[in-house]
Amino acid sequence: MSAVVVLTLATQMPFQGMDLTRYFTEWFPYYAWTNTAPGDVTRSMLWPGWTWRFVAVSLALCALIVYANGRARTVVVTT
């Protein structure tokens, strides 16, 4: 559970200030992708914030797969 909390804090950055640009690039990226977000939000603003998130989630998924495959198999006994 603690790995999930650390990953969430690392990817969501909850203690930073929020403005209109950050709001639409982080929480509603579809609007930025389709260029329908208000203000000066553009598609190119998505990649600095989302690239490292995709990398972090991919690495976490790989670590989870390695961890799951390294554990001994468990057997459920029912009566």
Report pTM: 0.58
Contact (CB, 8 A) for 53 and 11? yes
Token pair, residue 60, equals 């976490």
Contact (CB, 8 A) for 22 and 40? no
**pLDDT of the chain, 79 residues: tens digit per residue:** 687 888 778 777 778 888 888 888 888 888 888 888 888 888 888 888 888 888 888 998 999 899 888 877 777 778 7
Domain coordinates of the chain in residue numbers? 2-70
pLDDT of residue 58: 93
pLDDT of residue 39: 80
pLDDT of residue 62: 94
